[in-house]
Amino acid sequence: MKRIVVVGGGPKSYIPDLRKFPFQDCLWIGADQGAEVLVENGLSPDLAIGDFDSVSDESFRRIQETSKQVKVFPDEKDETDLELAISEALQRSPEHILLFGVTGGRIDHSQANLQLLYPLLKKEVKGTIIDRQNQVELVGAGEHTMEADEHYPYVSFLPITLEVKDLTLGGFYYPLEKAYLPYGSTLCISNRLIADTGTFSFISGILLVVRSKDLTNRG
């Protein structure tokens, strides 16, 4: 399976309409309340997993009736429901894991979920977090290409390592040439593409790449 969509139990107001995304030939995994979100979107989870402490008994029955497979875990465990879902996804050797329902609400949950992108990067599996306002990825050193997206016009590059060296941006409104970004730098906030395709490259470090839109453009 090349692409797997994992839906977590984050606030539903942050989750876009999943039916609007052109996901073909993908596998759907719902983590805890994320399985409820899939059912409410008219989608049948290929796997529903978690302790399901965030759903009602009635909703859990619907999840059981609709899902192709259900795995129930105890409330007290070392992994979060989302971690369990990602672990199941990785066992299917995906090229790309898309994560919905993992932002908003408690900041500790959101930060922990962002950090889950790191082990995916280390395994060379593309990981993308998507909510109504943002698309987020972790990117390692090298040369990268980015396509323009009218739904997420702003692009920010945030260093998550102590430093990112020689960041070069091409095809952006604010170009850069071999810039140095220490941890905490805001140099690369709210840039945007001025061409159909842009490029960015750096020789060391890891970047959090955030594509976003204003709340007035929510959809």
Domain boundaries, the chain: 3-132, 137-217
Q: What is the dihedral of CA 71, 77, 81, 82, to 10 degrees?
A: -130
Q: What is the dihedral of CA 194, 126, 180, 156, to 10 degrees?
A: 40
Q: Which residue has the tokens 């997420």?
A: 152
C-beta of residue 195 within 8 angstroms of C-beta of residue 215: no
Question: In Å, how far are 12, 25, 129 from 16, measured between CA atoms?
Answer: 8, 20, 12
**CA-CA distance, 210 to 183, in Å (whole number)?**
16
What is the pLDDT, as a whole number, of residue 97?
97
- Nearest in space to 13 (alpha carbons), one of 88, 104, 83: 104
What residue ranges of the chain have pLDDT lower than 50? 217-219
The domain 3-132 is placed in CATH, from the list 3.40.50.10240, 3.40.50.300, 3.40.50.720, 3.30.230.10, at: 3.40.50.10240
What is the pLDDT, as a whole number, of residue 1?
62
**What residues does 133 pair with on adjacent strands?**
none
**CA-CA distance, 90 to 166, in Å (whole number)?**
32
For 76, other C-beta atoms within 10 Å of its C-beta total 6
Question: In Å, how far are 33, 171, 185, 217 from 177, measured between CA atoms?
Answer: 45, 12, 16, 31
137-217 has which CATH code?
A: 3.40.50.10240
What is the pLDDT, as a whole number, of residue 29?
98
What is the pLDDT, as a whole number, of residue 218?
44
